[in-house]
Structure 1
Amino acid sequence: MHTLDLPGLAADAGAEHAAGAALAGLTTLRLGGRCTHLVTCADTGSLVAVVRALDAAGVRTLILGGGSNLVIADEGFDGAVVRVATAGIDVDGTLVRADAGALWDDVVARTVSAGLGGIECLSGIPGSAGATPVQNVGAYGAEVADVLERVELLDRRTGERHWVTPDALRLGYRTSVLKHRDDALVLAVEMRLRGDGLSAPLRYGELATAMGGEPGARLPVDEVRRTVLGLRAGKGMVADLTLDDDTPDHDSWSAGSFFTNPVIEHADLAGVLGAIAARVGGDARVPQYPADGGRAKLSAGWLIERSGFGKGYPGEGSPARLSTKHTLALTNRGAARTAELLALAREVRDGVHEAFGVRLVPEPVLVGCEI
């Protein structure tokens, strides 16, 4: 790290530099130690210049967006953390362009206010726009893949900027070719939405029921957004919620859904359902949804609860607990350490596997730590 003048680099690129910065406050879990350097880039030009310079110098680098899908080790990060703080949002007809650092819910709110439909079901999801194609972010039956037009990337191997279409990203359930790799950095996303003021067809039963509609209905985008925000808040799945006395709602100190819903191969499904029947009872209604290749997607939250892990597990006094509203979220109750959160994640993962033979996979990116 001493071969590069980080303060000088940040100033030259129009960015801001801080040495030894705490990372916990930059993540929705409020977990993680300090980094050696933090460089904040408020425009795409400075972001590209900083990342190019760090890569050319061989400096270990972590790109940080909204911090909503990230678990950072208690030891922090020995290197340079580049915080993407670009925030531009442009609406041109039905085409929406957002800088990678734009808060995702700001993007959704802007489109809804413009009467555009397509991402209203993704309201309230914390984090930045640049993370959405990486994770193929989705909720309530919708996902970014439904509307994505193209993505601007910085190829960190060559330093070149270029646009790619969704087929190049191999978007799947909560994944893409960009996940778990760092040689391509999202700079901006473009989406094509609907211009008639109505939502995409409702695909999720809970949402349709809450709105008094039928699956497949198209309803006013502002009403759908309001309903989704209410549903998410009821599960503690909106960042920075507060209680009636204005104290923090620690159920919202999470990384959202900590585990992805498991996708079971067709050949394995009968065995899993048999294990569920043996533990829960043969008349149990197991939530399952069709997945690609004849596979079945099961509800991770349902499996967690039936494995003996209830809301708020392991109970009062534990610094890391399952949300009191939604068992799929692991939460920091205000004084947790990353190691404690990961110990809970390990216990839940192993408990589900022991009960049903299903291995849950964490959704957040783990930095300097593992389950």
Structure 2
Amino acid sequence: MKREFQRIDLRDRNSFHVVQLADRLVEFDSAEELRELFARERPEKWMVLSGGNNILFTRDYDGLIVTPVADRIAILDERDDRVRVRAEAGAEWDDLVAWTVDRGLWGLENLSLIPGKAGAAPVQNIGAYGAEAKDCLESVECLFTETGAVETLAADRCAFGYRDSIFKRELKGRAVILSATFVLSRTPRPRLGYGDVIREVEALGGATLHNIREAICRIRRSKLPDTAELGNAGSFFKNPVVERAFAERLKAEWPDMPLYPSDEGGERVKLAAGWLIDRCGLKGYRRGAVGVHEKQALVLVNHGGATGGEVIELARLVQRTVRERFGVEIDTEVNIV
């Protein structure tokens, strides 16, 4: 089923709820519909807009937006402990996590309550509480718009990194994700490396699959604003990765500064951007209609009526303040258009 809109207001299609127009938006339900669209015309400018949870519009979009709406989730096959699950791009990510937990499948539970769609998860390599999408991802099915070919990319071809993938780089503007396939397990494999998760799970009665999901949902709700009530895109900034020697000098001055292992190896470690912003006195800071969330300093919020430009100005203030105080650069996680 395909719907098409002209000069559409994107306010209800982005979680920041900023008011911007798009020249044209097309929803597609299948590879065939998408293939026909790009075969019929060759738009000079186009982009994918899925759930709109990791994007900030700073101007009207003078091109074509394509949006996946197919949302089927299914078990492909099961062999011993391995269960392969395919989710179409338009499925709500947290619906997918709940679906797997209800069926006793381990692997995605630590990613509970992350907003967005299943098709966007590989792009950003979403992660939380010691887990990332790539940990369970087997492959990504995508359509190449120049040729109309549908290809399945194995996970090792997707160049996954910290909040990064080939879909943000080489394949940006070339491929549209149609579905993702995950390999999950029926064997309990709890990941409880974060103190607040352990405490909440224990309070709920132990490390069952449902308890872990419930614990993480409770923690996220206690820290992160509901996008229906307060416009935001979740974590606006990435946690910076720095040289271990530099981090240790900072920790000598700030003993309570948390450090985390980095995927880049032993000589580099990850700092907590939220902690850095908080120590700069910016948690809860407000400038007009925009602000830093009072419970989570990684989150910038729209209190109502803010423009994308105003959000960017606040982001630059936060980056500059952290750089001046700690000598650390923090990059944005949100896709800015």
- Same-fold call, TM > 0.5? yes
* Cα distance in 2 for residues equivalent to 1:238 and 1:119: 21
- Match for residue 305 of structure 1? 278
* Cα distance in 1 for residues equivalent to 2:335 and 2:109: 25
1:90 aligns with 2:64: no
Q: TM-score, normalised on structure 2?
A: 0.91
1:51-62 paired onto structure 2 within 5 Å? 51-54=38-41, 57-62=42-47
Deviates more, 1:168-177 or 1:298-307: 168-177
- Match for residue 236 of structure 2? 258
- Match for residue 257 of structure 2? 286
* Cα distance in 1 for residues equivalent to 2:144 and 2:154: 15
Which of 194, 200, 205 in structure 2 is aligned with 1:210?
200
Contact 1:21 1:35 in 2 (8 A): yes
1:106-185 paired onto structure 2 within 5 Å? 106-180=95-169, 181-185=172-176
Which of 236, 240, 247 in structure 2 is aligned with 1:269?
247
Contact 2:110 2:191 in 1 (8 A): no
Displacement of 1:363: 0.3
* Cα distance in 1 for residues equivalent to 2:258 and 2:35: 44
The secondary structure found in structure 2 opposite 1:20 is strand
Amino acid of the structure 2 residue aligned with 1:228: I
Deviates more, 1:59-68 or 1:84-93: 84-93
Distance 1:261 1:53, change over 3 A: farther
Q: Tell me, which stretches of 5 or more residues in structure 2 are unaligned?
A: none
Amino acid of the structure 1 residue aligned with 2:222: G
* Cα distance in 1 for residues equivalent to 2:175 and 2:107: 26
1:25 aligns with 2:25: no
More strand by share: 2
Amino acid of the structure 2 residue aligned with 1:132: A
Contact 1:44 1:86 in 2 (8 A): no
Contact 1:40 1:82 in 2 (8 A): yes
Which of 97, 105, 108 in structure 1 is aligned with 2:94?
105
Displacement of 1:38: 1.2
Which of 278, 283, 286 in structure 2 is aligned with 1:314?
286
1:186 aligns with 2:170: no
Amino acid of the structure 1 residue aligned with 2:49: L
Deviations 1:258-285, CA, capped at 9 Å, x for gaps:
00100002353345446xx2xxxx5x31
Deviations 1:21-58, CA, capped at 9 Å, x for gaps:
0112101111241011111113343233324444xx23
The secondary structure found in structure 2 opposite 1:255 is strand
Contact 1:142 1:203 in 2 (8 A): no
Q: TM-score, normalised on structure 1?
A: 0.83
- Match for residue 51 of structure 2? 66
- Match for residue 210 of structure 2? 222
* Cα distance in 2 for residues equivalent to 1:85 and 1:100: 7
* Cα distance in 2 for residues equivalent to 1:265 and 1:32: 40
Displacement of 1:139: 0.6
Distance 1:204 1:48, change over 3 A: farther
- Match for residue 65 of structure 2? 81
Contact 1:100 1:131 in 2 (8 A): yes
Q: How many residues align?
A: 327
Deviations 1:60-84, CA, capped at 9 Å, x for gaps:
11211010001112x3100111112
The secondary structure found in structure 1 opposite 2:257 is coil
Contact 1:32 1:71 in 2 (8 A): no
Query: Percent identity at matched positions?
Result: 35
Distance 1:239 1:44, change over 3 A: farther
Q: Tell me, which stretches of 5 or more residues in structure 1 are unaligned?
A: 1-13, 241-247
* Cα distance in 2 for residues equivalent to 1:204 and 1:237: 21
Displacement of 1:95: 1.2
Deviations 1:216-254, CA, capped at 9 Å, x for gaps:
xx82211111111111111125543xxxxxxx3x2xx21
* Cα distance in 1 for residues equivalent to 2:98 and 2:150: 28
- Match for residue 361 of structure 1? 331
Deviations 1:175-222, CA, capped at 9 Å, x for gaps:
1121142212211100011114x3533222221122128xxxx82211
The secondary structure found in structure 1 opposite 2:310 is helix
Contact 1:47 1:84 in 2 (8 A): no
